[in-house]
Amino acid sequence: MLSVTVTLTMYALLGMECGVTPAGNIKDPTRTIPRAVVIGTITVAAIYIASTAAVMLLVPADVLATSTSPFADAARGLGDWGPLVITIGALVSVCGSLNGNIFITGQLPMAAALDGLAPKFLARLNKGDAPWISLVLGSVLASVVLLANYSRGLVGAFTFLLTMTTLAILAPYLICALAELKHSWKSARRWAVVALFANLYSLFAIIGSGLEAMIWGGVLVIVGLPIHALMQRVRAKSAAAMA
């Protein structure tokens, strides 16, 4: 149960790595991006901790254990208009998150294409310099996955997709932590200790995602391997032709 909680909690903290994705469209990225990532992460963490603590203090433990809308329950202490304010805030948050996710859906495949790790057509831009093929393809795939899990019910489908999303991010986190552990083991033992804890946390959260999510994650990796192999051959041929 603890590992499941760790996985679900991790979902709320995902996204800071996306701050480096639009580096090519940002002025002075080497200075702006680190500041944005650090300040954004600290701000979000502070808001999460403060809001969660407020709910735990305002809502009795027995009510909170069975509540399906804890923030609305906490806001009822402000009056009848409290839950409405929370609902409006939730809608603003959802729209902002959706906007950011759509943006990343187009930017990530385009970045992979520009690095030669994905087909070049994914980097094709429209008149507004937006990677429209990546956006359309990503939106279609997301819709297909959602419809394929519709039989689980709204909550079940949301939980499964949330778990898959977290698992898809945890795998790169684990690889990066392993690389940092190897890099810092001899030269920076303090960073190596941090990397070690990151490895343990990532493994624990991956296990918490459950067998089904891990199987589907493995399937998605296997599906991507032929594309990766094909792009490696294309890059090798291009390099040989230039030589």
pLDDT in tens, 140-189: 888 887 787 777 777 777 777 778 878 888 888 888 889 988 888 888 88
Q: Quick one: pLDDT at residue 217?
A: 81
Across the chain, mean pLDDT equals: 82
The answer to whether 128 and 152 are in contact (CB under 8 A) is no
Tokens coding 125: 């831009």
The DSSP code for 120 is G
Q: Quick one: pLDDT at residue 127?
A: 87
Q: Quick one: pLDDT at residue 243?
A: 65
- Kindly state the helix (H) or strand (E) to which residue 14 belongs, with its residue range: none
pTM: 0.69
**How far apart, in Å, are the Cα atoms of 167 and each of 6, 10, 118, 215?**
12, 10, 21, 11
- Between these two residues, 124 and 205, which has the higher pLDDT value? 124
Confidence of residue 109 (pLDDT cuts 50, 70, 90): confident
**How far apart, in whole angstroms, are the C-alpha atoms of residue 180 and residue 178?**
5
SS3 156: helix
Q: How many C-alpha atoms does 67 have within 13 Å on its Cβ side? A: 16
pLDDT in tens, 180-233: 888 888 888 888 898 899 889 888 888 877 788 888 888 887 888 888 788 888
Q: How many C-alpha atoms does 216 have within 13 Å on its Cβ side? A: 15
Is the pLDDT at 35 greater than 80? The verdict is yes
